[in-house]
């Protein structure tokens, strides 16, 4: 048991070290608590700052560390980074369009149906493809937290015109489109939301 604990701690430290590498040399890496506390849904972006394709690739590579049902890895991402793609996707996010105009990257998040929650083609329990959505949520959580560790900001948007997005990116029918995620730099500091009391969300037995 002690050996397992040591190995787990070592793995956790390596993971944090890899996040530290995202911040660049000479820059103090944020602590995990810093990442959790400073990560906010940003609705105003600094249009003067850009994010490179290489940085997005680094971000998505780290996102692949997220756990999934039987390691099915059902999550997929479609990245709008060219001016043409950005303009197209901005018109597909409903009322959020004005909030993300300065974001230099928009990422469409999907998951492959029939993978998570299934065994030999049969759903394992009553949730079925909801497990795919669950795994996609875990992957997205890794994405937004890693993004913050890299100094970026995000907004997960549920308002999106799925049919238009599917057509634009040629997304196969076996994939479910979940969200569009804006990636960029905050133009202003967001307010800190009030969280529910722990006693409202947790019960101990």
54 part of a folded domain: yes
Mean pLDDT across 145-154? 98
Segment holding 180, helix H or strand E:
strand 175-184
181 part of a folded domain: yes
138 part of a folded domain: yes
Q: Could you please report the per-residue DSSP string of 28-63?
A: PPPPHHHHHHH--B---B-TT----HHHHHHHHHHH
Q: What confidence tens digit (pLDDT) does each residue in 64-120 have?
A: 999 999 999 999 999 999 999 999 999 999 999 999 999 999 999 999 999 999 999
User: What are the structure tokens assigned to 181, written together?
Assistant: 């995620």
Q: What confidence tens digit (pLDDT) does each residue in 24-40 have?
A: 445 688 999 999 999 99
197 part of a folded domain: no
Q: Is the pLDDT of residue 23 over 70?
A: no
Distances (CA, A) of 3 to 10, 13, 14, 15, 113: 10, 15, 16, 18, 38
- pTM, entire model: 0.86
Q: What does the pLDDT read at residue 29?
A: 86
Whichever domain contains 105, its CATH number is 3.40.109.10
What is the tally of structural domains in the chain?
1
198 part of a folded domain: no
Q: What does the pLDDT read at residue 19?
A: 46
10 part of a folded domain: no
Distance from C-alpha of 8 to C-alpha of 29, rounded to nearest angstrom:
21
Q: What does the pLDDT read at residue 28?
A: 81
Q: Is the pLDDT of residue 8 over 80?
A: no
149 part of a folded domain: yes
Mean pLDDT across 146-150? 98
Mean pLDDT across 3-32? 51
151 part of a folded domain: yes
Residue 60: domain span: 29-192
- What is the 3-class SS of 70-96, one letter each residue? HHCCCEEEEEECCHHHHHHHHCCCHHH
- Cβ-based burial of 4 (10 A; exposed 0-12, middle 13-18, buried ≥19): exposed
């Amino acid at each position: 048991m002690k050996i397992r604990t040591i190995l787990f701690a070592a793995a956790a430290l390596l993971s944090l070290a890899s996040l530290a590498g995202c911040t660049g040399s000479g820059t103090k890496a944020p602590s995990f608590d810093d990442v959790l506390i400073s990560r906010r849904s940003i609705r105003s972006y600094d249009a003067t700052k850009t994010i490179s394709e290489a940085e997005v690739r680094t971000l998505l590579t780290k996102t692949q560390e997220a756990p999934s049902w039987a390691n099915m890895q059902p999550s997929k991402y479609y990245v709008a980074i060219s001016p043409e793609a950005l303009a197209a996707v901005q018109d597909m996010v409903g009322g959020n369009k004005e909030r993300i105009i300065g974001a230099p990257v928009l990422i469409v998040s999907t998951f492959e149906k029939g993978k998570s929650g299934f065994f030999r083609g049969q759903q394992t329990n009553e949730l079925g493809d909801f497990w795919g959505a669950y795994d996609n949520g875990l992957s997205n959580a890794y994405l937004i937290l890693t993004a913050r560790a890299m100094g970026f900001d995000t907004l997960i948007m549920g308002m999106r015109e799925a049919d238009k997005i599917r057509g634009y990116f040629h997304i196969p029918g076996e994939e479910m489109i979940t969200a569009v995620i804006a990636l960029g730099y905050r133009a202003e500091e967001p307010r800190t939301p009030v969280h529910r009391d722990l006693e409202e969300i947790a019960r101990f037995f």
